[in-house]
Chains A and B, each alone.
Chain A
Amino acid sequence: MNFTEHTKIREEKFGTVVFDTLTEKIFITDQIGGDILRLIEQGKDLPVILSVLHDNYDGDEQNVEKDVVEFIDQLKSSNIVSV
C-alpha cells in the first residue's frame, strides 16, 4: 500500500492534511487518521498498522480493525492510496 504519486501529507495542529495535488483536493484527518497515514507512508501493511494502533489506543480489537479498514477504503476510493 502506497500513496498515489501526487499525494502529500502534512501535520498541522488541527490534524493531518492530505493534499491530492493531482485533483487539487484537500482532506483532513484527526490524530488517529494521521497515525495511519504516517504508517502507510513508512510502507507498513494492514496487519502492522492494526498492531501499532492496537498498542497505542484503547478499544475493542474488532472495532479497531473495522474502523481502520473502513478508513483505508476511503483513502483508496479517494485515490490517496493505491495497493
Chain B
Amino acid sequence: MDVVAEDKNLSRLTNPGPDDQLRAILKGSSFDDYNSPLFIAWQLNSACNLGCLHCCEEAGHSMPDEMTKEQALDFCEQIAELNIPYMAISGGEPLLCPHFFDVCESIRSHNISLKIETNGEFIDEKTALKLTDLKLRSVQISLDGATAETHERLRVEGDWDKAIQACKYLVKNGGNTEIVFVPTKFNIHEVGDVIDLAYSLGSYGVYTGKIMRIGRAAKNWDILSPSAEEYEKFFDVLKEKTAAYEGKMKVYYYPYDVIEELKYRLECPSASLLVVPNGKVKLIGPLPFICGDLKKESLSQIWGNYKKAWQNPEVIEFTKKVIAEPKLLAESNNWRQI
C-alpha cells in the first residue's frame, strides 16, 4: 500500500452541529458505524438547591429510583470497557450526590475525559482542590448574569457570589474553568459583561447559545424567550467578543435552536447518549423517548437500542410533529419507553 497524503488528512467528523460544511463531511458515514458512543452526558442526580426558571431537567427533588452508588460505579466500569473517551456529569446539582466523588474518581482512574456541570455553590476551597486533583477536562459553572441581581432572578435561590467564588477557587488551584451563560429576556443584555467577567476570573472559556425549549424553560417560554432582535444583538456581541478574546479565552457559541438541532439529528443522530438519574437512557434531551435502562440492560445493549430507535416510525413521526409544533417540547421530560 502506498502512503497517500490526501487519505491521511484530518477531517472534522461530527462536531458541532447542523452546518453545511459538516453535512458534506458526513456524507456517506454514519453514527451507526461506531462501536460505542463517543460521549455520554450523565445527569447523576435530580436534587438541586436552586429552582432555575430555565432548567431543562426540571431539577429540584431526588427521584425515588435513582441509581445507587454500586449501580453508578458499575456503569463507570462499562463506560471504560467500551472505551468511551469523554463524558459530562451534571444533575440536578451533581455535588449534592453523595457518591459524586466516587464516580468522578472511577471515571478518571480510566483516563476518560470528564467535564462537570455545576452551579458552583458547593465548591469551597477544599472542594476546589479535590476537583482540580482529578485533572478534569473542565468544571463548567453556570453564570447567568454579570450581576447578582440578574443571575439570581433567573436562578431562583441562587447565590451569584458563591458561583464567582467557586471560579476563583478553581482557577487558583489550576483547574480548567468554564462559564456557561443561558440567554433569556432577563439577562441577554449582559452577555458581553459576563464574557468580560469570565476573562477577569481567569476562565478557560465561555459557552453559550440559544436557550433550549426543554423542561422548565419550555413551561416558562413566553416569559423567557428572547426576541429575534435581542438574539441579533446577542450574536453580534458574541462575534465581537470572540474576536476580542482570540488567543486569550475561548468563546464558544452554538447558533442553532432545539428545532434546528432536531431536524439535523433526524438525519444524523450523534454518537452520544444521555443518561438520567434513574439509569434510563434518553434518545436526546428534547425528545421524551427512553431507549434503555442501565438497571436492566448493559450499556452495549442500550447502544444497540439507540441505533435502532432513530429508525423507529414513532420517533420519526413525533420528531416531525415537534418540529412543526415546538410547544410539544414541553413533553421532553414525560418519558416514554420505546
Contacts and interface: CB of A to CB of B under 8 A. Distances in A.
Interface of A: 5-6, 8, 10, 12-14, 17-19, 21-30, 32-33, 36, 53, 57-59, 63-64, 66-68, 70-71, 74-75, 78, 80
Contacts of B13: 17, 26-28
A21 B11 contact: no
A8 B10 contact: no
B10 A28 contact: yes
B33 A27 contact: no
A67 B7 CA distance: 10
A69 B12 CA distance: 20
Interface of B: 1-5, 7-16, 29, 33-35, 38, 83, 85-86, 113, 135, 137-138, 176, 250
A25 B17 CA distance: 11
Question: Which among B3, B4, B8 has the greatest number of chain A C-beta atoms within 10 A?
Answer: B3
Nearest to B28: A14
Nearest to B250: A23
Given A12-B33, A14-B33, A26-B15, A75 B3 contact: no
A8 B86 contact: yes
B34 A12 contact: yes
A32 B3 CA distance: 7
B86 A57 contact: no
Given A8-B113, A17-B38, A26 B14 contact: yes
Contacts of A70: 5, 8
A22 B8 contact: no
Nearest to A64: B3
A29 B13 CA distance: 10
Contacts of B34: 12, 17
B8 A30 contact: yes
A8 B85 contact: yes
A59 B83 CA distance: 33
Question: Which among A5, A12, A66, A68 has the greatest number of chain B C-beta atoms within 10 A?
Answer: A12
Contacts of B35: 10, 12-13
13 contacts: A13-B33, A19-B85, A22-B138, A24-B86, A27-B12, A28-B13, A30-B8, A32-B3, A57-B1, A57-B2, A58-B1, A59-B2, A67-B5
